[in-house]
């Protein structure tokens, strides 16, 4: 079953790129700026920016996932666990780096070895002061209000 996220992010043409000076330059790739974007998002080393580009409507599209092989801490008990599964989530921000932003994330889930069961690892941008809004997720396939 194809998720809404796959539909929203398929065949995006990157036409411009973001530089660390916050200047948009036509023809550059975002690969050189993934470290800057990761730092701006507050990503720890357990997360990586997989892709980022400015699309035709001048919005910023970012794809983030967990670093392969990394261990996570259970949010309930603090036990260390490895990745069990991931779920695609789509987030929106009205003015991240002065651009409307779509953030697609492969959010990790762990199976806690201490018996807490399957636990979602909260992404670093999900906190009380965050302006990112969860639009949809693969596990629930619904929109947040």
Joined tokens for residue 122: 């909260």
Write the DSSP symbol of residue 15: -
How far is it, in rounded angstroms, from Cα 61 to Cα 56?
Answer: 11
Q: Using one digit for the tens of pLDDT, what is the confidence trace for 1-39?
A: 343 333 333 333 333 333 333 334 444 445 567 888 999
Q: Is 33 helix (H, G, I), strand (E, B) or coil?
A: helix
Q: For position 137, what pLDDT does the model report?
A: 76
Q: Using one digit for the tens of pLDDT, what is the confidence trace for 79-108?
A: 999 999 999 999 999 999 899 999 999 999
Using a pLDDT cut of 70, give the percent of the chain over it: 73
CB 138 within 8 A of CB 88: yes
Q: pTM for this one?
A: 0.73
How far is it, in rounded angstroms, from Cα 123 to Cα 144?
Answer: 16
Which among 144, 139, 137 has a CA at the least distance from the CA of 8? 137
Joined tokens for residue 34: 């993934």
């Amino acid at each position: 079953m194809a998720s809404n996220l796959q539909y929203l992010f398929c065949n995006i043409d990157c036409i411009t790129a973001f530089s660390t000076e916050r200047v948009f330059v036509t023809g550059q790739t975002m690969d050189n700026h993934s470290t800057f974007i990761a730092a701006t998002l507050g990503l720890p080393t357990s997360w990586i920016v997989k892709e980022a580009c400015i699309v035709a409507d001048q919005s910023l599209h970012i794809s983030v996932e967990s670093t392969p092989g990394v261990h996570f801490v259970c949010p309930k008990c603090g036990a260390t666990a490895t990745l069990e599964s991931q779920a695609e989530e789509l987030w929106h921000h009205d003015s991240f780096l002065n651009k409307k932003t779509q953030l697609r994330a492969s959010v990790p889930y762990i199976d806690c070895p201490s018996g807490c069961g399957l636990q979602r690892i909260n992404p670093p941008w999900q906190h009380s002061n965050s302006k990112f809004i969860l639009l949809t997720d693969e596990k629930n396939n619904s929109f947040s209000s």
